[in-house]
């Protein structure tokens, strides 16, 4: 596309955004669980309506948009929306649980046959005898689950393995995984793994089969809706580290819609920790040949702190923020730097696989470290310039219902809480 017409499309996108009613991007009362979006909880999920609006906007102005990529697909929100918009969708994530969730959420199974397998499974598990020797053997299994719960989960797992055909199992494993989370001894409202306190643990008597049945029934509703949308475009899911997408060809994608991690897993959202119990029950990490469940967070962006504070990143905004943080705490500054160094490698990779004229839609949270706000939207925009990305538009949306940490204690003073994120930035870049 000629330069002038690309600029005209950019301008048209900006005008369309300006013409939207005030509060359009807040989606305060939107059903964020519609379609298959409610299959499984996950930290910092994107609001489906945000992804949908961004996809619609780009499709409206670039009707030749055919493919969508998300390098940090998480629970697969942008892939589900891409699929519903008729796009060929490709996603990647280091977390094996992310791939399981996204596979289940982007696949439509015949609802009648699904119902048959649910009945078969529930009949079968009634009679399975489980001894302690049959329990899974991962570290701390009895710390995180009561004995009765381990036995019930083992029955369910064996039932799925023995009765449900391989091609349908992902639907059941996702429900199993969500169940694992709800019936464990962890405090379910938290994304990090914290055990229930003694008093609550003593009274904790979760109904494993009942929980599983509820999750399955809820997910069957989502599946039936997706089933009605057939035929669906192709979906491909990969376990790639976003820093190395070398298996994907240059210029392959028309559109990217993504929300990257906010920072390293240790000080922001620990995706690996959130997923650990499910990964252990399902042996997912072993099957994928990736990092062990307890090493996943270290493998993510910023997982290993930089040795020094020198860097060659092309972001004056980041440089200024690092100086400020370093004046309080040099180690914290090195941790922050490592995240952006890794992100920069990712930016180069995803720039390479975008086709010229293609749009990248980013949804990011700007967190605060040591009272210094890290303007990740600006930092990404500045760092992407050297990889041929041109800024198109940038605006803020309020976060009425996104599950993410709103407060933490970055000062490490007991009880001192600082609001880290209460809005997020949406911005669009175009590949030159």
Ligand X SMILES: C[S@@+](CC[C@H](N)C(=O)[O-])C[C@H]1O[C@@H](n2cnc3c(N)ncnc32)[C@H](O)[C@@H]1O
Give the footprint of ligand X on this chain (CB under 6 A): 42, 44-46, 72, 74-75, 77, 93-95, 98, 241-243, 259-261, 271, 300-301
Residue nearest to ligand X (CB): 74
Question: For residues 42 and 171, which CB has a smaller minimum distance to ligand X in the complex?
Answer: 42
Distances (CA, A) of 287 to 97, 281, 294, 329, 388: 11, 12, 15, 40, 37
Least Å distance, CB 273 to ligand X, is: 11
Least Å distance, CB 239 to ligand X, is: 8
Torsion of CA 6, 352, 43, 382, to 10 degrees: -60
Question: For residues 57 and 364, which CB has a smaller minimum distance to ligand X in the complex?
Answer: 364
Question: For residues 61 and 403, which CB has a smaller minimum distance to ligand X in the complex?
Answer: 403
Q: How far apart are CA 93 and CA 279, in angstroms?
A: 14
Token pair listed for 213: 């049945």
HSE on the CB side for 46, CA within 13 Å?
A: 29
Least Å distance, CB 100 to ligand X, is: 12
**H/E run at residue 89:** strand 88-92
- In total, the chain counts a number of residues equal to 432
Question: For residues 302 and 358, which CB has a smaller minimum distance to ligand X in the complex?
Answer: 302
- Going across the sheet that includes 423-431, the strands are 235-238, 88-92, 67-70, 253-258, 354-364, 423-431, 389-398
- The count of other CB atoms within 10 Å of the CB of residue 310 is 7
Least Å distance, CB 289 to ligand X, is: 15
Question: For residues 259 and 280, which CB has a smaller minimum distance to ligand X in the complex?
Answer: 259
Question: For residues 44 and 380, which CB has a smaller minimum distance to ligand X in the complex?
Answer: 44
Least Å distance, CB 34 to ligand X, is: 14
Distances (CA, A) of 79 to 105, 248, 296, 370: 9, 17, 22, 35
Q: How far apart are CA 161 and CA 158, in angstroms?
A: 5
- The count of other CB atoms within 10 Å of the CB of residue 23 is 11
Least Å distance, CB 325 to ligand X, is: 21
Angle (nearest 5°) at CA 220 between 219 and 223:
90
Question: For residues 55 and 94, which CB has a smaller minimum distance to ligand X in the complex?
Answer: 94
Q: Minimal CA–CA distance to 317: which of 268, 364, 253, 270?
A: 364
Least Å distance, CB 92 to ligand X, is: 6
Question: For residues 82 and 260, which CB has a smaller minimum distance to ligand X in the complex?
Answer: 260
Contact partners, residue 361, CB within 8 Å, separation at least 6: 54, 55, 58, 255, 256, 257, 258, 426, 427, 428
Distances (CA, A) of 305 to 206, 264, 290, 333, 384: 40, 9, 21, 9, 22
Q: How far apart are CA 31 and CA 48, in angstroms?
A: 9
Least Å distance, CB 267 to ligand X, is: 14
Token pair listed for 91: 């996603």
> Tokens 């475009």 — which residue?
233
Question: For residues 132 and 244, which CB has a smaller minimum distance to ligand X in the complex?
Answer: 244
Least Å distance, CB 335 to ligand X, is: 15
Question: For residues 56 and 142, which CB has a smaller minimum distance to ligand X in the complex?
Answer: 56
Least Å distance, CB 5 to ligand X, is: 31
For residues 69 and 48, is the Cβ–Cβ distance under 8 A?
A: no
Rg (C-alpha) for the chain, rounded Å, is 22
Least Å distance, CB 141 to ligand X, is: 23
Q: Identify the bridge partners of residue 425 per DSSP, sorted by sequence position.
A: 364, 396
Question: For residues 378 and 402, which CB has a smaller minimum distance to ligand X in the complex?
Answer: 402
């Amino acid at each position: 596309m000629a330069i002038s017409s690309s600029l005209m499309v950019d301008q048209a996108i900006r005008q369309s955004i300006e013409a939207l009613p005030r509060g359009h991007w807040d989606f305060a009362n939107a059903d964020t669980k519609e379609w298959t979006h409610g299959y499984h909880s996950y930290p910092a999920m994107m609001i489906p309506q945000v992804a949908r609006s961004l996809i619609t906007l780009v499709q409206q102005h670039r009707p030749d948009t055919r493919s969508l990529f998300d390098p940090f697909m998480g629970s697969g929100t942008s892939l589900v929306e891409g699929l519903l918009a008729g796009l060929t969708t490709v996603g990647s994530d280091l977390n094996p649980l992310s791939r399981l969730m996204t596979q289940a959420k982007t696949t439509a199974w015949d609802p009648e046959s699904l119902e048959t397998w649910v009945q078969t499974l529930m009949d079968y598990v009634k009679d399975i005898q489980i001894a302690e020797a049959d329990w899974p053997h991962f570290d701390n299994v009895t710390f995180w689950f009561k004995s009765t719960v381990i036995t019930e989960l083992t029955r369910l797992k064996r039932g799925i393995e023995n009765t449900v055909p391989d091609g349908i199992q992902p639907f059941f494993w996702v429900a199993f995984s969500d169940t694992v989370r709800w019936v464990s001894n962890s405090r379910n409202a938290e994304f990090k793994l914290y055990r229930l306190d003694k008093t609550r643990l003593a009274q904790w008597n979760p109904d494993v089969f009942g929980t599983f049945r509820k999750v399955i029934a809820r997910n069957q509703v989502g599946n039936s809706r997706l089933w009605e949308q057939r035929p669906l475009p192709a979906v491909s899911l990969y376990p790639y580290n976003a820093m190395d997408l070398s298996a994907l060809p240059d210029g392959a994608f028309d559109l990217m819609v993504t929300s990257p991690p906010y920072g390293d897993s240790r000080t922001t959202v620990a995706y690996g920790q959130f997923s650990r119990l499910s990964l252990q029950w399902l042996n997912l990490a072993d099957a994928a040949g990736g990092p062990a469940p307890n090493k996943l967070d270290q493998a993510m962006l910023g997982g290993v702190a930089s040795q020094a504070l020198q860097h060659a990143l092309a972001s004056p905004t980041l440089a200024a923020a690092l100086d400020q943080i370093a004046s309080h705490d040099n180690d914290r500054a090195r941790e922050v730097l490592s995240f952006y160094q890794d992100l920069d490698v990712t930016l180069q990779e995803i720039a390479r696989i975008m086709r010229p004229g293609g749009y990248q839609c980013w949804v990011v949270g700007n967190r605060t470290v040591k009272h210094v706000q890290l303007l990740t939207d600006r930092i990404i925009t500045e760092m992407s310039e050297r990889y041929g990305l041109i800024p198109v538009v940038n605006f803020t949306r309020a976060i009425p219902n996104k599950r993410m940490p709103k407060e933490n204690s970055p000062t490490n003073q007991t009880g001192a809480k600082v609001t880290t994120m209460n809005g997020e930035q949406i911005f669009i870049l175009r590949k030159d």
